[in-house]
Structures are given as C-alpha cells and as structure tokens.
Amino acid sequence: MQYQFVLEEKEAQPTISIRARTPVQNLPQVLGKAYASIITYLNEIGIPPSGAPYVGYFNMDMQDLDIECGLPVAQPAAGNNELKPSEIPAGKQVSCLYSGPYNKIEPAYNAIMDWIPANGHISTGVCYEFYLNDPAETPENELVTKIVFPLK
C-alpha cells in the first residue's frame, strides 16, 4: 500500500490526558476507560474537545507500553487527581493516514519509519495515533488513523 507523508511544523497542542502502562492486549480496555474519564471530566468543566482522541507512545515494548491517551483542547485546562494537563509538543512532524483495522497498522508504521531517515530526518522516539472515526460506529476496514512522528 502507498502512503502519503506530510511534513509540517506544528504549534503545541494543549491536551487533557491520562498516562498509563499496559500490555498491548489490554490496550482497548485501558483506552476505553481513559477516554470515558476524560470526556466525563471535560463535560463537568464545560470544555469541549478540539480534536480527535489520541494515544502517544513513549516506547514500543508490547508487554509494557508507556502511553498517554488524551483529547486535544483549545486552551490549557486544569486536570484532577487522575487527569493531567499535557500537550503535544510544537515542532516539525511527519504524518500519514492509515485506513483499516488497528491490528493491521504495522505496514504504515514501517513505511513512515523508513521515510524518516531516507529523507534526512530523525524521530524524537515518540509517536502519536489520532483516531479520526469511532470504532463503535465504523466498520473495522473503514477506520482511519493518523500516525504522527515528531522530528528532531
């Protein structure tokens, strides 16, 4: 499959998020619980999300993923005991869109990770997935995920 890569400079994006560690097989349950907590909190404080839900991956250890799941907000907002204000950092990034089941996303990752050094860039080691449609309402083959790698 061919992927179109977009290289751009982005401003910092404020978010409300939960940081967690989990094995990959527990990811759907962890994300479901986290997003429910975040949406409930944002509704309580009267701040709507300003973009798609995301997961930041700080490592790729499938038995002990270090993740941040969150929602973008228009301006920084206070957190609570469980939720923290955070941000997706400003800077140069490369992204691509992947369509299909989440468990078949690996070729898109391989393509973007090959593109980065081939085009003279270096990844920061963190990557983000933005979920552009709802898996509860969208057939698995029509799910769209934006993969983003911040660059040094």
Q: What is the pLDDT of residues 59-97, one digit of tens each?
A: 989 999 999 999 999 999 998 989 999 999 999 999 999
Residue 1 lies in a domain: no
Overall pTM surpassing 0.75 (yes/no): yes
Residue 63 lies in a domain: yes
Residue 55 lies in a domain: yes
Domain hosting 136: range is 6-150
In this structure, are residues 53 and 71 in contact, taking their beta carbons and an 8 Å threshold?
yes
Residue 102 lies in a domain: yes
- The chain-wide mean pLDDT, for the chain, equals 96
Q: What is the CATH number of the domain that holds 111?
A: 3.20.80.10
Q: Is the pLDDT of residue 44 over 90?
A: yes
